[in-house]
Amino acid sequence: MSGPESYQLFTSDTCGFCARVRQFLQQRGMSMEFRDTLRDPAAFKELLQGGGRGTVPCLRIQRGDEVEWMYESMDIISYLDTHSPQLG
Ligand SMILES: N[C@@H](CCC(=O)N[C@@H](CS)C(=O)NCC(=O)O)C(=O)O
């Protein structure tokens, strides 16, 4: 898949798997929008409807009109590891 991508990380404060992904981002100096599914009911609803599950962490990847919802902290970290040059 080519072209620019934009990311949102659906996350919660209490989730250790989310902390792992956020720590990875911090170490790499990457920033992206965080959507807190416990504090923001609209974010939780969007995750459920878009991704099909309320599990966090989930990375929402937007490529043009196409949206991919990626679950699993290790998959998210591996993905961002290879796509990091695209991050501002
Ligand atoms: N194997 C997953 C585990 C994710 C997970 O268990 N998330 C918990 C919070 S720590 C969760 O969202 N549970 C609620 C649910 O699955 O709906 C990962 O590494 O991302």
pLDDT of residue 88: 47
- pTM, two decimal places: 0.93
Query: How many CB atoms lie under 10 A from the CB of residue 35?
Result: 20
Torsion of CA 45, 52, 22, 26, to 10 degrees: -100
Substitution site in 12, 17, 21 for ligand 1 pocket (most atoms within 8 Å of beta carbon): 17
The atom number, within ligand 1, closest to the CA of 57 reads: 20
What CATH number is given for 6-86 in this structure?
A: 3.40.30.10
pLDDT at residue 3, rounded to an integer:
66
Pairs from 19-26 (Cβ < 8 Å, separation ≥ 24): 20/73, 20/77, 21/57, 21/59, 21/73, 21/76, 21/77, 24/77, 24/80, 24/81, 25/80
Dump pLDDT digits (tens) for 41-52. Answer: 999 999 999 999
CA 11 / ligand 1 centre spacing (Å): 10
Q: Which atom of ligand 1 is nearest to the CA of 15?
A: 10
Query: What percent of the chain is predicted at pLDDT more than 90?
Result: 88
Give the CA radius of gyration of the chain.
Answer: 12
Low-confidence ranges of the chain (pLDDT < 70): 1-3, 84-88
- CA dist 28 → 22, 25, 60, 81, 88 (Å): 10, 5, 19, 9, 11
Ranges of each domain in the chain: 6-86
Q: Which residues line ligand 1 (CB under 6 A)?
A: 15-17, 54-57, 72-74
